[in-house]
Chain A
Amino acid sequence: MKKSRAIIMSVVLALMSAIILITASVALFSDSVTVVNYLQAGTLDIGLARTQLSGYTADENGILQFSSDLERVDLTDAQTDDPDDTVFNLGAQSIPGTWQEATLEIENRGTVAFDYSVAFFFSEVPEEGSAAARLADKLLVTITDSKGEVLTEAGTTLTDIVAQGAVALGSISSPNAKYTFRLKIELPLEEGTWDDGAGATIMNAALAFNITVSATQKV
């Protein structure tokens, strides 16, 4: 009898020991650390400047003259009335054979990496069949990126490039980094075409278009 009781007691003790062990595992020392994160937004800011403008434009007598202007023109702020505060300055009259190529420099003045592009659009969409519309169909546009790669197909007209929309030029990741790209506009001298000023002429046509360089954060 005594033997049996002793066995029972020992079983109970064993159970109690187990319970104590389980309780002890919860009571382990613990600690926690909270880290406060401060978020500061970056800035996306670009600078745009024309660093070179070269090509053939007509002088006051309508004779094509070559010129190359290396004066830096800052295009970052809103456009002013200064006739040179623009990408191209084609003068009072353009004739077939006129062309200009502008070298533009884009600078990352902020802290955010960005992709940039260029788009052409008409200030006022020329009326269909008008001399201005015909001129837009004649003007050739060439876009060359910072690596020297021509991004437009041969024969791309102003009308084409307006319809195409923004053309991606590349990316800038580092603050203060600068890249240059080139835009060219040309009124080609067409062989075998006699424009006598009547009918479907482009003589005395006037056309205005905008060039927008856009930057969006790199995603």
Chain B
Amino acid sequence: MMKSKKTALLTAGLTVLLSAAVIVGGTFAIFGTSKTREVTITTGSVDISAEFGDVTLYSLTPSSTEAQPTGSLSFNAGGTASLDSANGSIALTGIVPGDRAEFTLTVTNTGAAAARYLIAYDATVTGVAGAEDALNYTVTAADEAVSFGSWSAEPLAAGESVTLNISVELDKSAVQVTDGSGAVQTFITQASVVFTIYAGQANASDADLNGALGFTPAP
């Protein structure tokens, strides 16, 4: 008799537990539905390259008062020009008055997005007094839209290029000087024209671009 009472109690307990489980499970049966869409976003990029090329050297000749093409990467008096593509530089060494180098600088938008660009350049010359005045250099562009020292008004589309024509010349009127002992001084010990090209996304204002750079590029 006692045994059947225990059984009855156990059965009752299980029933309560099963009922609780049904109730808990029931809370998940709430009606619901959803709709999903996937969105993909890919960013563009702004990147720019600049490369020297098309080097032509000019030197004076005994038969002409104007410098003539030398047809090689050597000047007539022994100077040379060397193009270092890896470092993006061109070096002129051993030049004498009247020597002139003309070359191009091609600026290409290698990014995926259109870009505004700013071309700045600066020349530094160290040597004897007056050497700076004797180094003539010009930078021009066939495209009139190209400006220097300010952000381009027109963006450069992805893959597009602009070409600058650069001429560097040691004026033929330059005169070497000697020191007090009569020794000839090196007219130019070092001269460089450094080009810096900045590029920013096409939709940015001058102020935003300068603000992002943290400075206003010098012309």
Contact = CB atoms under 8 A, between A and B. Distances in A.
B203 A203 contact: no
B141 to A, nearest CB: 21
Contacts of A75: 35, 37
B37 A95 contact: no
A214 to B, nearest CB: 4
A9 B35 CA distance: 90
Contacts of A216: 30-32
A204 B212 CA distance: 19
A208 interface: yes
Interface residues of B, number: 36
Contacts of B155: 61-63
Interface in B113-167: 113-115, 155, 157-158
A208 B46 contact: no
Contacts of B202: 61-64
Interface string A159-194: 000000000000000000000000001010111111
Contacts of B36: 79, 210-213
A51 interface: no
Interface of B: 30-47, 111-115, 155, 157-158, 200-204, 208, 211-214
A219 B31 CA distance: 10
Q: Assign chain A's interface to a size class.
A: 35 or more
B39 A87 contact: yes
Nearest to B115: A62
Contact of A209 (B39, B211, B213): B39
A194 B35 contact: no
Given A62-B158, A90-B39, A208-B38, A194 B208 contact: no
Interface of A is mostly: loop
B35 A90 contact: no
B204 A123 contact: no
A154 to B, nearest CB: 20
Nearest to A203: B45
Nearest to B27: A219
A44 B32 CA distance: 7
B44 A58 contact: yes
A217 B38 CA distance: 25
Given A189-B208, A192-B214, A197-B47, A93 B34 contact: no
B33 A95 contact: no
A62 B113 contact: yes
Nearest to A135: B43
Given A62-B157, A63-B203, A191-B211, A210 B39 contact: yes
B39 to A, nearest CB: 5
A216 B121 CA distance: 65
Interface string A197-211: 100001111111111
23 contacts: A42-B31, A43-B31, A44-B31, A44-B33, A61-B114, A62-B46, A62-B113, A62-B114, A64-B203, A88-B41, A90-B41, A93-B113, A95-B44, A96-B204, A114-B31, A191-B211, A194-B212, A194-B213, A203-B43, A203-B46, A207-B41, A211-B39, A216-B32
B39 A62 contact: no
Contact of B42 (A79, A92, A96, A195): A92
A10 B211 CA distance: 121
Nearest to B42: A206
